[in-house]
Copies of this chain bind each other. A is one copy, B any other.
Amino acid sequence: MIKVGIVGGTGYTGVELLRILSTHPEVELTAITSRKEDGLPVADMYPSLRGKVGIAFSSPDKARLTDCDVVFFATPHGVAMAQAPELLAAGVKVIDLAADFRLQDVAQFEKWYGIPHTCQEVLKEAVYGLPELNRDAIKTARVIGNPGCYPTTMQLGFAPLLKAGVIDAGSLIADCKSGVSGAGRKAEIGILFSESSDTFKAYGVSGHRHTPETTEQLQRLTAEPVELLFTPHLVPMIRGMHSTLYAKLKTDISNEALQALFEDAYKDEEFVDVMPFGSHPETRSTRASNMLRLALHRPGNGKTLVILVVQDNLVKGASGQAVQCMNLMFGLAENTGLQHVPVMP
């Protein structure tokens, strides 16, 4: 059994880790930290876990995280880099669901997150945790920077095209829509029910942290300079993410060949579902599961390809993906504990 610790288990990615890990056959939940909730049984905060998770929150000093095999950080940005060195020194693997180990470009990190990066030694060895594009490195990693939710959809949607060199890397557009849980479990006016239901808006249009992360990763797939325009929007739904990607084709290529490109790229991937050409995937078809689904469109048979990508932002976009990485790091079957059937309706 893998002994697992979670730092910061009171947010949505934390409780989602608990939902997944509590039925993972190879995991023993060992510790979950919260300074504020020390001693509170997890199931008292989250009644959905009554009878499923027996442990209580403990303050970081008591939590004995160094006894774990792996520690997940479901914390605000900046926490993981403060604690990673000690854990690594004790032989504990680290999976950070925040941004501390996502961006290799430290200047970009500091610009977008507004804090200095205090752990660049560890950052150097950190592996970007997107298994479909980075599987081998993840298997041997000690530290994972788990991808952002939006970047996961953008990368898996653009990757086969960039690798094949059939689109103009310099004019990518990603018009993305996220459920409200993506904003986290924070007491903020803007994400109150009465403020964010029955309405729709864009946010961060002039610039968003997920642009440099995605650009850095996409750039690994092509020699051409990548230019990405990313527009996030907030959807009045709890979970779910829908990315509508636009790419200019620069070669003469048939729809069948484009479809084959994707089917080939993901033919062995359990968690990426290439739907038939012209499909319209719905976010709910992935709800509470680790699936990402995508489909291609070519309106008017023109030069612009539209790729529709959906996932559950809390699973494949966060906690499920983190567990997928853990499985790889510990030599388990990649889908262990991740075979939830999406909940519909």
Which chain B residue has the least Cβ–Cβ distance from A177?
B200
Contact B341 A202 (CB under 8 A): no
Is A37's beta carbon under 8 Å from chain B? Answer: no
For A, the interface residue count at a CB cutoff of 8 angstroms equals: 85
Contact A235 B200 (CB under 8 A): yes
Contact with B along A260-299 (1 / 0, CB 8 A): 0000000000100101001011111111110101000111
A339: contacting residue among B23, B278, B339, CB under 8 A: B23
Q: How far is the CA of A13 from the CA of B193 in the complex (A)?
A: 16
Q: How far is the CA of A191 from the CA of B230 in the complex (A)?
A: 29
Contact A273 B50 (CB under 8 A): yes
Is A254's beta carbon under 8 Å from chain B? Answer: no
A199: contacting residue among B15, B173, B282, CB under 8 A: B282
Instruction: Write the nearest CB–CB distance from A51 to chain B, whole angstroms.
Output: 7
Contact A308 B205 (CB under 8 A): yes
Which chain B residue has the least Cβ–Cβ distance from A49?
B341
A47: contacting residue among B173, B281, B299, CB under 8 A: B281
Instruction: Write the nearest CB–CB distance from A167 to chain B, whole angstroms.
Output: 14
Contact A189 B194 (CB under 8 A): no
Instruction: Write the nearest CB–CB distance from A60 to chain B, whole angstroms.
Output: 22
Instruction: Write the nearest CB–CB distance from A319 to chain B, whole angstroms.
Output: 12
Q: How far is the CA of A199 from the CA of B178 in the complex (A)?
A: 10
* Chain A residues in the interface with B (C-beta under 8 A): 12, 15, 19, 22-23, 46-52, 173, 175, 177, 179-181, 183, 185, 187-189, 191-203, 205-207, 227, 229-231, 233, 235-240, 242, 244, 246, 270, 273, 275, 278, 280-289, 291, 293, 297-300, 302, 304, 306, 308, 310, 339-345
